[in-house]
Chains A and B, each alone.
Chain A
Amino acid sequence: MKRILPIFLMILALSGVKAAQATQASEAPVSQPIAEGAPFPDLKLNGNLSADQSAYLGLPAPGKTQRLSKIKAPFVLLEVFSMYCPHCQREAPVINELYNLIAKRGLAGKIKVVGLGAGNSLDEVEIFRVKYDLLFPLFSDPNLTAHQAVGGVGTPYFYLVARDPKTGALTVKLSRLGRMASPERFLDDLVNAAGLSQEDAK
C-alpha cells in the first residue's frame, strides 16, 4: 500500500494540472495577478455611468472619471473582461445573476460589482453592456493602463477588494482567474473571503 500512495498522489497532482489548464478563461501571456492579502491599486476608472449606476456605487455625480477608492462600500468585486473574449461573453449573464443574488441575500450595500473592459473603448464596453443587458457598471480601459496595474491578468478575472472605511486603502481578499462554477457558490466564496456573516445581511 505504501507503494501505491505516491502513485495516487501523482494522479491527484496531475489532475490538478489538467483542471488548471481547462480554466474557462482567455489566458494572458504575461500575467502577474495581485495576491490575496496584498494592496490593490486605486484605479482610475473611466465610464459613462448612468445616474442610477453612480448612485449604486455611492459616487457623488455621474462623472466620466472615478477612483476605485471612492466607491462607498466595504467590498468591490471587480471583473476584468473583454468584449472580444468568448468566456467573458458567456459569463456576462451569470454575473447579472450574481448581482441579483447579492441583492437577494441582503448584501447589496456590502459588495458592489463593477466590470473593467481591458482593451475596450467606451463604445465597445457599451456594445457589451447592451448585448447582455448588464445591470452592473462597466468601465473602459482602451490602453490597458488599469489592466497592467492589476497584473495584466487573463479574462475573465475576479478581484474582491476590501476598502478601509477610514483610510480608503484597498486590499485584495479574493484573486481568481476564469468563469465561476455557479453564482451561488461564487457568492459563498466571496462572503467567506470577505469575512462577512449572515448577520451582515440586512
Chain B
Amino acid sequence: MKHLARAAFLALFLALCAQAAPGSAQDPSFQESIFPVGPLKPVDSVLAVKVGQTAPDFTLPAINGKKVRLSDYRGVKNVVLSFVPAAWTPVCSGQWPGYAIAQNVFDKNDATLIGVTVDNIPTLYSWVKQMGGLWFPVVSDFWPHGAVAQTYGLLRSDGVSERALVLIDKQGIIRYIDVHDINTRPDLGVLVKEMGKLKE
C-alpha cells in the first residue's frame, strides 16, 4: 500500500513538472511573468525638445552587442524613437510585440524604429528574447542613468522614461512627438499617418 502511495505522489510530481515547462519557457506572451503596475501619473516630465529642431544625437549600446548612433541614420532613413518606461511591465510588453508584426509599414515609409528603455542590457536582452525577438534595434539608456531620456525631457521622477514616440526625418529634424499617457498604448495608425506626411 505504501509503495502505491509513493508511486502516486511521484506521478503527481512528474505531472506537475511536465506541465510547468511549456507554460513558462515557450510562452511568448509571458503574461504570468509581467509585474503588475497600477495606474500611474499619465506624464511626469517636462519635454525638452520640440518639433522642428534637430534631434539630440546619442550613442547607446544595443542588445545585439553593437552601438547605435542616431546620426548614422542621417540621409539614410527616417527614425522613430520608441521610448517605453520599463521592461517586464504590462503595457510595454504589449506595445513592441505589435510593432514586431509591422515592419512592412515602417519599410513602406522608409523608416526604422529604435526601441529605448532605461533598463540594462541583460534585462532588455531577456525581455526581447521572451517576445520572440524584434526586427528593430533595442538600446539601453541605463548608464549614465536615463541620460538620453533626460536630454529629450522624457525622464520621469522615479527614474523610468515616458511612453513616447519621436519621429525624426532623414535630415535629423524632429517632425512629430507623442508623449503618451504612460498607462495606455499609442495608436500605431496615428504614427503611420505621421510617417506618411514625411513623403509630402
Residues of A within 8 A of B (CB): 1, 3-4, 7-8, 10-11, 14-15, 18-19, 21-22, 24-27, 82-87, 89, 119, 121-124, 127-128, 130-131, 142
- Known pairs A18-B15, A86-B28, A122-B189. 6 more at Cβ < 8 A? A3-B1, A11-B11, A18-B16, A21-B23, A131-B102, A142-B187
Helix, strand, loop or mixed for chain A's interface?
helix
A-B contact pairs, 26 of them (CB 8 A): A1-B4, A4-B4, A4-B8, A11-B11, A14-B16, A15-B15, A15-B16, A18-B16, A21-B23, A22-B23, A22-B27, A26-B29, A26-B31, A26-B94, A83-B188, A84-B97, A84-B98, A85-B97, A89-B101, A121-B188, A121-B190, A123-B187, A123-B192, A127-B188, A128-B101, A131-B102
Q: Please name all residues of chain A whose beta carbon is closer than 8 Å to the beta carbon of B15 when the two chains form the complex.
A: 11, 14-15, 18
CB-CB contacts of B74-95 with A at 8 A, as 1s and 0s? 0000000000000000000011
Whether the pair B12, A7 counts as a contact (CB closer than 8 A) is: yes
Q: Please name all residues of chain A whose beta carbon is closer than 8 Å to the beta carbon of B193 when the two chains form the complex.
A: 123
Q: Which residue of A lies closest to B188 (CB)?
A: A124
Cβ of B32 under 8 Å from chain A: yes
Q: Please name all residues of chain B whose beta carbon is closer than 8 Å to the beta carbon of A130 when the two chains form the complex.
A: 104
Cβ of B5 under 8 Å from chain A: yes
The 7 closest A-B pairs by CB, nearest first: A123-B189, A84-B98, A22-B23, A18-B19, A7-B8, A84-B94, A121-B189
Of A4, A85, A122, A131, the residue contacting B29 (CB under 8 A) is A85
Question: Whole-angstrom distance between the alpha carbons of A3 and B23 in the complex?
Answer: 31
CB-CB contacts of B173-190 with A at 8 A, as 1s and 0s? 000000000000101111
Of B11, B20, B29, the residue contacting A86 (CB under 8 A) is B29
Min C-beta distance of B193 to chain A, whole Å: 8
Q: Please name all residues of chain A whose beta carbon is closer than 8 Å to the beta carbon of B132 when the two chains form the complex.
A: 86
Whether the pair B189, A87 counts as a contact (CB closer than 8 A) is: no
Min C-beta distance of B186 to chain A, whole Å: 10
Q: Which residue of B lies closest to A15 (CB)?
A: B15
Contacts known (A27-B31, A89-B97, A131-B102); A22 close to B19, Cβ less than 8 A? yes
Min C-beta distance of A50 to chain B, whole Å: 19
Whether the pair B101, A131 counts as a contact (CB closer than 8 A) is: yes
Question: Whole-angstrom distance between the alpha carbons of A121 and B184 in the complex?
Answer: 13
Contacts known (A7-B5, A21-B32, A22-B22); A86 close to B131, Cβ less than 8 A? yes
- Near A by CB (< 8 A), chain B positions 2-61 give 4-5, 8-9, 11-12, 15-16, 19-20, 22-23, 27-29, 31-32
Question: Whole-angstrom distance between the alpha carbons of A127 and B12 in the complex?
Answer: 45
Question: Whole-angstrom distance between the alpha carbons of A8 and B29 in the complex?
Answer: 32
Of B1, B8, B94, B188, the residue contacting A11 (CB under 8 A) is B8
